[in-house]
Chains A and B, each alone.
Chain A
Amino acid sequence: MATVERKTGGGIGEAVLRKEDRKFVTGEGRYVDDLRLPGMLHAVFVRSPFGHAKVKGIDIAAAEALPGVHRVLTHATLPAETGVLCASNPPGSDVRQPEQPLLARDEVRYVGEPVAIVIADDRYIARDGADLVLVDYDPLPVVCDAEAALADGAPLVHSGYPDNAAATLVHETEGFAEAMQGAARTVELRVVNQRVTPMPMETRGCIGDWQQATGEVTLYTSTQVAHFVRTFISFVCGTSEAKVRVVTPDVGGGFGAKLNTYREEFAVCSASRVMGVPVKWIEDRSENAVATIHGRDQVQYYTAGVDESGRIVALKFDAIQNNGAYHQLLTPTISHLTVFMVPGCYDIQNISIRMRQAFTNTTPTDAYRGAGRPEATHGIERLMDAIADDLGLDAAEVRRVNFIQPEQFPYSSSTGLVYDSGDYDTTLDEALRLADYAGFAARRAASEANGKHRGIGLSTYVEVCGLAPSAVTAAIGVGAPGWEHSTVRLHPTGKATVITGTSPHGQGHATSWSQIVQTELGIPFEDVEVIHGDTAFQPYGLGTYGSRSLAVGGVALHRSLGKVREKAREIAANLLECSVDDLEWTGTSWQVKGSPDRAKTIQELAGAAWAASSMPEGVEPVLEATTFHDPPNFTFPFGTHVCEVEIDPETGRVEVVNYTAVDDCGNVINPMIVDGQVHGGIIQGLGQALYEETVYGEDGQMLTPTLVEYLVPSAADVPPMTLARTTTPSPSNPMGVKGIGEAGTIAASAAIVNAAVDALSGLGVRHLEMPLQPARVWNVIQEAKS
C-alpha cells in the first residue's frame, strides 16, 4: 500500500522514518497511566445507570467504611467555582448553555454522568468502593433521538428550558427562493449520519496534584489542548492561571475526543486539593464509551433544485444535530462546521440552511475526526449520486458540471468561506484512471456471474482545515483564537531544539518538524529535538486538531527558522567582514556570493552567537526565535476517493474490494506520514460506513458499551488501497501546505456507501444508511425484491 520508499533522515519531501517510533514500538512511551507520584491516591467515578433521573440522596457510609477507601466526594463536598465551561457561542443561534456541574447536583441526564468520586489506596479498592455508594434515583422520562427531542411534547432534558432546542443556525442567500422555484426539477434526500464513538487506543486519564502551601496545581492529562485545559482549570477550580501547570506526556490517540476539557480533569484537581495528595484517574474502556464525547449524530434533509444537466441551481439543507445532554468545549460549533461545508466542492451560490441542535439524554457530542465536515461531505456526496440516479446521468459527470473551476479561486462560497485553491477535475480524472472506472462494467459482469452485486462509488470532497484565523474564530463565536506558537533554539554546539505549541498525539511532529529544520536551516534531521506538552516552559499553544498542526504550527516554525537564519546572516556578515547583501544562503551556510571558501555554517554561527564575542552592533547573543503565527485564511485540501464493493445478496455482507484515493493536500513534508494519515483516515471512515454505531435504547441505556458491540475495524478488516496525490499549493502560507489529518475520514464514508447503493441500483435501491450492517443491507434487498 505504500507509495514511497522510506529512509532514515532528510529534509522536506522525503519519506523519513519517524524518529519517535522507537520508544513506542519498544514499549517505552510514557503515558499518564505510567506516572506514579509519591503518596498518590486513585479515583473511580460513580456514574449514573439511568438516562435521566432525579438524585434524591447519596449514601456514602458503606463505601467510606471499606478498608482502603479514604473518602467519597459528592457535589456537596467537591469544591468548584463553576461547572464545565463551553467555549462555543455561535452568534445569532440562541445557544443555550445549561450548567454542567462536576458531579451531579440533583439530576442526572445521561448514562455515565458522574455522581460521586471514590478515592482509595488503589484503583481496585476504589472500584469496589464505587459499588458500595448507594444513590437514590427517581427515574424521569428520557429522549435520546434528536428529532424526537424537538417534537412537541418531548420529555425535557433540562426542565429549566421550555423545549429541547440547544441552538439554531439559519442562513439563506438572496435570490434563493426564486432560484429554487425556477429549477427544472428537484431531488430530495434524507441522510442519517449516525452517532459514533472516537475510541482512541489510550483512554482518557489524569492526575491532579494540588500543592496546598502554594496553591500551585499540576495536572497531568491525556489531552490535545494543554494550554486550553490550563486556562479552564483556573476558571473552574478558582485559582490563578499562573499557578496551573498542565503536562501532557505521550498521548495515545485523540481523534478530537481529547480536544476538550472534561469534568474528570477538574475533579481530580479539586479532589487533590481536598485530600492533600495527588489523585489519579484512569478511564476504563467501558467508561470511555459513556464518559468521553461522541461524534456525528446528525439527520439531514436535502432538497436540490437542478437543471437537466444535473447542475444544482439552488440547495436547501435542513438538519438536526444531536448535541447530547450538555455542551462540551465546542459542541455547538461542530454542526456549524457542517453548515460551512454544505456546498462541498460545488459552485452552489443559492443556498438555504437551517441547522437545529437538540439536547437529548445522551453523552454530549463534540469534535470527532473531521468534526462536522464528514457530515457535510457524506450528505452532499450522497445527494450527487441521488441526482445522477434520478436524472439518469453518470455520477462523475454530475460532479463535473457542478465543480468550482480552477479559475474561480480564490472562491467565495455561499456559506461565507474563501476557498484558497483547487483543481477538482484533475483529482477526479486521476482517481478514475487509477480505479479503472472505464473497465468497471466488465468487473461488474464478472461479479454478477458469481452471484454477487458489484458497485462503484465516488466521493469528491473539499475540506476546511488549518484552524483557524483568529478573527474568524471570534466571528463564529469560538472562545479561543487560532494562532500557533513556535520557538527555535540553537545550542552552542549547533544542535537545535524546537518547542511547538501544537502537541502531537500520534501525528509525528518530531519527525516532520525536524525535516523542516533540516531544509530551512541546514541542521541535520538527527540534530533536532522537538519538545512539547508542558505549559510550564512553553509559551501558549492552541494544540492539535482540525488538521492545523502543519498549516498553522508548521508555518509558525517556518517563520521562526527564517528569523534565525536572518539573524545568523547578520552575524556571518560581521565575521566575514562584508555586508549582509553580499551573502547568499547555501542551504547549510551563509557564504560570500560566489566564494565557497568564505562561508560560515549555521553550526559555526550558532556557536559564535552563543560566544557573543564578535557580535554586530545591536544584535543580541544566541540564535533563538519565537513566532506566534495567526493564519490569514483556512486551507482547503481536496480530492477524489473511489470505492468498489461486492455485496453478497445471500447474507447482505458488503465487502470493499478496491479503494483508490487521490488527495491534494498541497505541498508534502513527509509522504510516508501523509500516506499513514490517509490510510488511518480511510479506515476510520470505513469504520463508520460498515461497522460502527453508538446505539441507545428507548430507555436511555447504551446498547454498545463494549468493543464486542461497538465494532472498530481491525487490521484484518482493512481493504486494499491505492493512494496517489496531486499538488496544488496553498497560497495562504509560505510553505504551500494544507493539512491531511482528517481528509480520509471526510471522504471515505460517502465513497463506500455510494458504491453499495450503486451495487444495488439494479434492484431499484436509491439510498442506504450507515453502518452497512449485513442485516440492514439484506433487509433492503428483500424489500427491493418484493
Chain B
Amino acid sequence: MIPSTLEYTKATSIDEAIAAVQAGARPLAGGQSLLPMMRLRLAAPGAVVDLGGVAELVGVCEDGDEIAVGAMTTHRAVAADPLIGEHCRVVAQAASGVGSLVIRGRGTIGGSLAHADPHGDLPAAILAVGGSVIARGPGGERRIEIGDLITSYLTTSLADDEIITQVRLPKGNAQSAYAKFHRRAIDWSIVGVGVAIGPDGVRAAATGVGDKPARVTGFEAALNGGASLDEAAAAAGDGLDPSSDLDGSAEYKRHLVGVLAKRAYLEAQG
C-alpha cells in the first residue's frame, strides 16, 4: 500500500497540464482510482501532473443542444447540478451513487472516463445518453464519442499526450434513469444499467458486462420493436459477455442486466 517513488507537479492551466503529459507525466484527476492502484503498485507512473488546480476544467454550462461539463467536475457536483438533473437525469443519478460521499467529493467525471474501469457507473450512464468527450492535445482538440473512447479494460483511445477537457451531454434525456446492483453501499457496481427514453426510442447501456461499457442492444431492439418490457428484460443479456468471478457467474450478471434495465426503464418513465 506504499506507492513507488514519483515526481509530482500541479498544473494551473490546460496548456501546462498538456506540456507535463507530453513530458511523460500521468494526469491525476480526483485520484480515487489512480491512487489506490499506485498504492497497490498496479500502476507506477514515474511522474504525475495534478489537474486539481486547473480552474477552467471545472463547471457545468449549457451549449446549444448540449450540456458541457468540465472534466474536473466532481461526482458530487454532477449529482447536484440542476442542468444535468433536468436534461440528463441518468448521469446525475449515476454520479450520486458512486462510492461514498468522500469519494464523490473528490472523484471527477473526466477521471472516471479516462480511467475506464469496466465497473464504472459514469461511462455506462453517459453511453446511454450518447454523450462524448472533448480531448485536447498539443495538436488541438477533437471530439470522441463515448462508445469510441473506452476500448478495453482500463484502456482508452486517448493519445498519450491528450487529456479530456470536457464531457458533452446531449439534452433531451430527461426521461432517463440509472439502476445499479452492488453489495454494500460503498461498493462498485456488479452490474449497472442506464436507460434513456428519447424521441428516437430507447437507449440502454450497462457496466460490469465485459471489458468496457456496452449498449444493451437486446433490450433496446426488443422495446423499440414493440416487445413488452418483460420480453425486453429477458433479451437484455443477449450478446453481452460478462466474466464469472467472486460476484457471480456470467449467467447471473446477464440476468441482472435485464432486471436492472427493467427497473431503470420504469423509473425513467416516471
Contacts and interface: CB of A to CB of B under 8 A. Distances in A.
Interface of A: 44, 123-124, 127-128, 131, 284-287, 650-653, 691, 695, 703-704, 706, 708-709, 711, 713-714, 716-717, 773-775, 778-779
Given A650-B259, A713-B184, A775 B248 contact: yes
B103 to A, nearest CB: 12
A124 B184 contact: no
A708 B188 contact: yes
Given A691-B184, A774-B181, 6 more contacts: A123-B2, A286-B40, A706-B40, A708-B187, A716-B186, A775-B249
Contacts of A716: 184-186
A779 B248 CA distance: 9
Interface in B1-50: 1-2, 4-5, 40-41
A494 B2 CA distance: 50
A287 B259 CA distance: 38
Contact of A717 (B184, B190, B256): B184
A691 B182 CA distance: 11
A123 B3 CA distance: 11
B2 A284 contact: yes
B122 to A, nearest CB: 18
Interface string B146-189: 00000000000000000000000000000000000101111110
A454 B255 CA distance: 22
Contact of B4 (A128, A703, A706, A773): A128
Contacts of B247: 773, 775
Interface in B240-263: 246-249, 252, 255-256, 259
Nearest to B245: A703
A651 B256 CA distance: 7
A286 B1 contact: yes
A773 B248 contact: yes
Contacts of A124: 2, 5
Contacts of A285: 1
9 contacts: A124-B2, A124-B5, A284-B1, A717-B185, A773-B183, A774-B181, A778-B248, A778-B252, A778-B255
B71 to A, nearest CB: 25
Contacts of A653: 181
A711 B184 contact: yes
Interface string B184-205: 1111101000000000000000
A284 B2 CA distance: 8
A691 B246 contact: no
Residue among B1, B40, B256, B259 with the highest chain A CB neighbour number at 10 A: B1
A124 B1 CA distance: 10
A704 B186 contact: no
A716 B248 CA distance: 23
B188 A127 contact: no
Contacts of A774: 181, 183, 190, 248
A20 to B, nearest CB: 26
A122 to B, nearest CB: 10
Contacts of A284: 1-2
Contact of A651 (B2, B100, B181, B246): B181
A671 B9 CA distance: 53
A774 B182 CA distance: 9
A703 B245 CA distance: 10
Nearest to B2: A127
Contacts of B249: 775, 779
B36 to A, nearest CB: 8
A711 B183 CA distance: 8
Nearest to B258: A650
Nearest to A652: B252
Nearest to A709: B246
A68 to B, nearest CB: 10
A651 B259 contact: yes
Contacts of A714: 100, 184-186
B121 to A, nearest CB: 15
B184 A703 contact: no
Residue among A716, A774, A775, A778 with the highest chain B CB neighbour number at 10 A: A775
A704 B187 CA distance: 14
Contacts of B190: 774
Contact of B246 (A131, A286, A703, A717): A703
A653 B248 CA distance: 12
A123 B41 CA distance: 15
A704 B252 CA distance: 21
Contacts of A703: 246
A24 to B, nearest CB: 20
A775 to B, nearest CB: 3
Given A650-B259, A695-B246, A287 B1 contact: yes
A448 B17 CA distance: 57
Nearest to A708: B188
B35 to A, nearest CB: 13
A131 B2 CA distance: 12
Contacts of B185: 714, 716-717
B267 to A, nearest CB: 15
Given A691-B183, A706-B40, A714-B185, A775 B252 contact: yes
A778 to B, nearest CB: 6
A739 B91 CA distance: 51
Nearest to B5: A128
B119 to A, nearest CB: 10
Contacts of A128: 4-5
Contacts of A708: 187-188
A21 B132 CA distance: 50
Contacts of A778: 248, 252, 255
Nearest to A703: B246
Residue among B183, B188, B247 with the highest chain A CB neighbour number at 10 A: B183
B40 A779 contact: no
B242 to A, nearest CB: 12
Nearest to A710: B246
A335 B181 CA distance: 37
Nearest to A127: B2
Contacts of A131: 4, 41
A44 B190 CA distance: 34
Interface in B198-229: none
Contacts of B187: 708, 711
A695 B252 CA distance: 20
The 10 A-B residue pairs whose C-beta atoms are closest, nearest first, are A775-B248, A716-B185, A284-B1, A127-B2, A650-B259, A775-B252, A717-B184, A285-B1, A714-B186, A711-B184
A704 B246 contact: yes
Contacts of A123: 2
A705 B246 CA distance: 13
Contacts of B184: 691, 711, 713-714, 716-717
A653 B184 CA distance: 11
B7 to A, nearest CB: 14
A675 B77 CA distance: 38
A135 B185 CA distance: 41
Contacts of B248: 773-775, 778
Contacts of A127: 2, 4
A716 B184 CA distance: 8
A774 B256 CA distance: 11
A286 B41 CA distance: 12
A704 B245 CA distance: 12
Nearest to B188: A708
Contacts of B246: 695, 703-704, 709
Contacts of B5: 124, 128
